[in-house]
Amino acid sequence: MRSSRFLIATLKETPSDAEVISHKLMLRAGMIRKSASGLYNWLPMGLRVLRKVERIVREEMDKSGAMEVLMPVVQPAELWEESGRWQQYGPELLRMSDRHDRPFCLGPTHEEVITDLIRNEIKSYKQLPANFYQIQTKFRDEIRPRFGIMRSREFIMKDAYSFHNSTESLQQTYDVMHATYCSIFTRLGLEFRPVLADTGSIGGAFSHEFHVLADSGEDDIAFSNASDYAANIEKAEALPPSTPRPAPQHLMQEVATPGKHSIEEVCEFLKVSPQQTVKTLIVLGEVRADKTQPLVALVLRGDHELNEIKAEKLTGIAAPLTLAPEARIKEELGVGIGSIGPVGLKIPVIVDHSAAHLADFVCGANKDGFHLTGVNWERDEQAPLVADIRNVVAGDPSPCGKGTLEIKRGIEVGHIFQLGTKYSEAMKARVLDENGKEQTMIMGCYGIGVTRVVAAAIEQNFDDNGIIWPDAIAPFQVAIVPINISKSEAVANKAEEIYAELTKAGFDVLLMDDEKARLGAMLADTDLMGIPHRIVIGDRGLEAGNIEYKGRRDAEKQEIPAAGIVEFLSVKIQR
RNA sequence: CGGAGUGUAGCGCAGCCCGGUAGCGCGUCUGUUUUGGGAGCAGAAUGUCGGGGGUUCGAAUCCCUCCACUCCGACCA
């Protein structure tokens, strides 16, 4: 490609609405432009990267034995009614009507459509297992789209759905997908980790997320420092303390803590550490027969955070987890938030392991403006119902039994699930088995955020001058920068010659052939755009038959013979 | 949904407090000189000042209203 015939839309200044580095650099490098909140245009430069990511994903999926299909973006409501998600999905599902007033939605995911398609096409166990995928636009009406392409409303996803007649078969395909995802992210040149994950709203039994490690990630990942264990913090189990609870040393006392509500304020006032306190959260319980929801208290150590996912799975607690309205707490417990404690509370209490392990702790006195000190379980309040309801923190023992946990930030770029029969059951997707009996198919589903991968790759590969693309997904692998083509025929000729040679050798080359372009501007642009290999051609070097090479990450440029450039780059560029 | 903020040329911004008919830098176009790391000079084009309404002789500026966008929060308990 010649720069004179390609839209190089680089910006010197960053548009003011960009916050994270990938968003800024994608705008500055001329890859994307915003159309509306969470909606982006892909310029030629960006699309080249996106297509390369797609190509790698497609090649690896094909290699895994999956079959590519293409499903509609607009989906009929009736399928969503059938699965029950028309009611469940919530406002992220963009609903609309056609001219006949028939309800539709923009697909945020395609379980319903694929299940409908396959139940009509596959009738026999002999056709199983089968795995279908597509690379296609999804729409999710996010509350707050942010970080450019990283969390946009419209995005491109590779989604795959597999169908089976046994859990063993599902497990096999799941394992193949796990391996395929590892190959894909390795080929993309990313530093990633598969991590154990919660199955979330999609449902199902077993699940892994694939995270690209980067500080700007929105997820916390817990890693063992002594094994392969890695889990999303939503999922990572906090082990119960292994030592016995210390014996009580103090008597329970009520102390006035006027105006002190938060853990921080109370600790400061009473001169204790948060680890020596508990906080009591009031949430709604499961809906009872009379349609009312009782209150339930959750007790955590002051320095710990509630893990909503863990909590809402406990029996007696409503899912999704909902904090009780303050007015209801006032009315039923007779105390304002900020002074609640487990002692003498008249509602069910569930206590986190580490809070249950405390002796002589501080908690709210269930009386506005008062706290209790020197509180001890059993002596002052009956032995609590104990569960794991907190997020793990760095330094916790790893659930795998080896080492302690570290927490890192990750960007979720892939997710694989064992769905089981959630959709096939609801939508009656069945095959005849060996005995001629109807059997509900078992399903798996597997997603990769293709557009998000592009942003994640930048989050992991940039410097002060711009993007640094991995070879596999660079918009161009090589940039040829000739100095003064309008003045030097020798330079112009050599640039054309090398451009032809490299192109013929199968490299993706960008020839900077704008006659008026100055060296500094061209170098700034090729760096910003992240082109990983750069050749500068000038009269000075040509006198000795040399050109200049610099890898995007190299500190120094080097002179190499112009004649050997194809061989030189064949060694440098991973293909 | 709650809170905060922003909307002025393609991009980044000033002007608004204190009303007088719109400016700077970058980019773009023309010419010219220059050319080994985002050139210099000379000239030029580009604005319903987010929309609507109001106050006023006069509104980018003051008031009302709507819209869009951005950020933060949605775990005080």
Are A575 and A527 in contact, with CB atoms under 8 Å apart?
Answer: no
- Distance of C1' in B38 from CA in A521, Å: 5
pLDDT tens figures, A212-252:
998 888 888 998 999 989 998 888 889 999 899 999 999 99
User: For A182 and B73, how far is CA from C1' in angstroms?
Assistant: 36
Q: Is pLDDT at A476 greater than 60 in this prediction?
A: yes
Please name every residue paired with A387 in a beta bridge, in sequence order, or none if there are none.
Answer: A352
- The pLDDT value recorded for residue A266 is 85
Q: Is the CB of A549 under 7 A from strand B?
A: no
pLDDT at A204 over 70: no
- Those residues with Cβ within 8 angstroms of residue A112's Cβ, 6 or more apart along the chain or in another chain: A75, A79, A80, A82, A83, A85, A423, A427
Residue A412 φ/ψ region, left for φ over 0, alpha for ψ in the -120 to 50 degree band, beta for the rest: beta
**Alpha-carbon gap, residue A491 to A473, rounded angstroms:** 29
Instruction: Name the CA dihedral angle for A177, A140, A48, A161, rounded to a multiple of 10 degrees.
Output: 20
pLDDT for A384 equals 80
Distance CA A537, CA A552 (A): 16
A527, A416, A363, A461: which is closest to A180 by C-alpha? A416
CA A487 from centroid of its chain's CA atoms = 51
State pLDDT tens for residues A249-272.
999 999 998 878 788 888 888 888
**Cα gap A536→A549, rounded to integer Å:** 6
Beta carbon of A449 within 7 Å of strand B? no
Q: Pick out residues 249-308 of chain A having their CB under 7 A from any atom of nucleic acid strand B.
A: 261-263, 279-282, 302, 305-308
For residue A129, pLDDT beyond 90: yes
Is the per-residue pLDDT at A461 higher than 80?
A: yes
User: A226 forms bridges with which residues in the sheet?
Assistant: none
SS3 A183: helix
**Contact assessment for residue A426 and residue A234, using Cβ atoms and an 8 Å cutoff:** no
How long is the CA A67 to C1' B64 vector, in angstroms? Answer: 60
Mean predicted confidence (pLDDT) in A50-62:
98
List the nucleotides on chain B closer than 7 A to a protein CB: 1, 11-13, 25-27, 34-39, 68-77
Q: Rounded to the nearest 5 degrees, what angle is found at the Cα of A238, between the Cα atoms of A235 and A244?
A: 165
Mean pLDDT of the residues in chain A: 91
> Which of A382-391, A467-476, A501-510 shows the lowest per-residue confidence on average (mean pLDDT)?
A382-391
Please report which helix (H) or strand (E) contains residue A415, including its range. Answer: strand A405-420
Say which residues have a Cβ less than 8 Å from residue A497's Cβ, sequence separation at least 6.
Answer: none
pLDDT class for A198, splitting at 50, 70, 90? confident
Which nt is closest to the CA of A148, judged by C1'? Answer: B70
Q: pTM for the complete prediction?
A: 0.90
Q: At a CB cut-off of 8 Å and minimum separation 6, what does A428 contact?
A: A119, A440
